[in-house]
Amino acid sequence: MNELIKAIEKLKQEKNAVILAHYYTEGEIQNIADFVGDSLALAQWANKTDADVIVMCGVHFMGETTKIICPDKKVLVPDMNAGCSLADSCPAEKFSEFVSLHPDHTVISYVNTTAAVKAVTDVVVTSTNARQIVESFPADEKIIFGPDRNLGNYINSITGRKMLLWDGACHVHEKFSVEKIIELKQSHPDALVLAHPECKSTILALADVVGSTAALLKAAIQSDRKEFIVATESGILHEMQKQCPEKTFIPAPPNDSTCACNECSYMRLNTLEKLYNCLKDESPEIIVDQETADKAIKSIKRMLEISEQLGL
Ligand code: 13P
Ligand code: SF4
């Protein structure tokens, strides 16, 4: 293993490459990354790096977003099959039809979408900035929000907006079990429940803190509680445990106890070996067609600009 890590470090130096990783990847990937973050932080980091090569250890839409932000850099992903069930729940053609049926609506899309969906979007959001970006529009602005119905419902509930929602969801966040979290709360009465807004409203109703992966991490660090029940992809526990070695983090169980459904099977396709191979071969490389990229960059840049203005 050490040899593989040394070989990756050497290739990184030779190629002036950086490795970015999402909090949901395996701990060994997070450990070797130059930067680990949530979706917003990864996009912000890509926007300012001067590396020639960026390896995005995450999922395909993160690679696409990086390539659109950094068209002159080579953007690699360890496994081209690392997709996203939420992005898949919003095919671009169908979403475009939906948008064209509501021409007077502003289109706000979650970053978990393909470049083609971003191309018909006015402003992209992540779970870190969705509330603030929605609230940056006048209260009577007509808004389409896609593709995550749970995040959309949550934002509607905390802002009082009535955004039209696309009916998409993430297979990991949909599967947390209300009953099992209630049981865990009973057996760990002092535990703080942390939940990602991609979870269903029945799960969010049990949560003490609702937020993006970065927000949940911050809450875990700042809280004086000793135990936490974590309702999001379990990869985040790696950084939580690293930052707070004295605290206990309990992954919220899915309703199907026969599978590790609180792990994103796509994120877990990133392995050290594939990371080494993709740096060595400079493949698989993310390519976004120019016309789509030219349209999508506007909605991504708008998100980055608003986030900067808001100090996010
Ligand atoms: P954040 O990175 O915004 O917390 O979103 C989680 C997610 O599902 C990424 O795919
Ligand atoms: Fe997509 Fe869900 Fe995996 Fe996030 S956890 S990358 S939303 S499938």
DSSP-derived 3-state class of residue 236: helix
The pLDDT value recorded for residue 261 is: 72
Task: Compute, in angstroms, the gap from residue 172 CA to the centroid of ligand 2.
Answer: 7
Q: Which residue has the least CA distance to atom 2 on ligand 2?
A: 170
Ligand 2 center–CA 16 separation, angstroms: 29
For ligand 2, atom 5, which residue shows the shortest CA distance?
Answer: 264
* Atom 9 of ligand 1: nearest residue by CA position: 39
110 Cα to the center of ligand 2, angstroms: 12
pLDDT averaged over the chain? 96
Tell which atom from ligand 2 comes closest to the C-alpha of 198: 7
pTM: 0.95
Read off the pLDDT of residues 10-28 as tens digits, 9 standing for 90 and up. 999 999 999 999 999 999 9
- Written as six digits, the tokens of 262 are 């609180």
Residue 237 pLDDT > 80, yes or no?
Answer: yes
| CB 119 within 8 Å of CB 297 | no
Max alpha carbon distance in the chain (Å)?
Answer: 58
Ligand 1 neighbours, Cβ below 6 Å, are 38-39, 112, 126-128, 170, 198, 212-213
**Where does residue 55 rank: exposed (0-12), middle (13-18), buried (19+ CB within 10 A)?**
buried
User: Could you tell me the distance, in angstroms and rounded to a whole number, from the CA of residue 233 to the centre of ligand 2?
Assistant: 8
- Strands (DSSP E) contained in 78-132 are 106-110, 123-125
**How far apart are alpha carbons 20 and 78 in whole angstroms?**
11
Q: Decide: 112 in ligand 2 pocket, CB within 6 A.
A: yes
Residue 255 has a pLDDT of 83
Pocket test residue of 233, 262, 263, 270 for ligand 2, highest count of atoms within 8 A of CB:
233
Alpha helical stretches, state H, 113-171: 115-118, 130-135, 149-159
- Mean pLDDT for 53-58 is 98
Give the number of the ligand closest to the Cα of residue 41. Answer: 1
pLDDT single digits (tens) 251-307: 999 887 767 678 999 999 999 999 999 999 999 999 999 999 999 999 999 999 999
What distance in angstroms lies between residue 38's CA and the mean position of ligand 1's atoms? 6
What's the burial of 222, exposed, middle or buried (CB within 10 Å: 0-12/13-18/19+)? exposed
* Domains of the chain in sequence order: 2-82+267-288 (3.40.50.10800), 86-170+293-310 (3.40.50.10800), 176-251 (3.40.50.10800)
Which residue has the CA at smallest separation from atom 1 of ligand 2? 84
Q: Looking at residue 260, what is its pLDDT?
A: 65
Q: What angle do CA 210, 215, 221 make, to 5 degrees?
A: 110
Instruction: For residue 233, give the ligand 2 atom closest to its CA.
Output: 5
Residue 172: CB within 6 Å of ligand 2? yes
For residue range 88-123, list pLDDT tens digits in order.
999 999 999 999 999 999 999 999 999 999 999 999
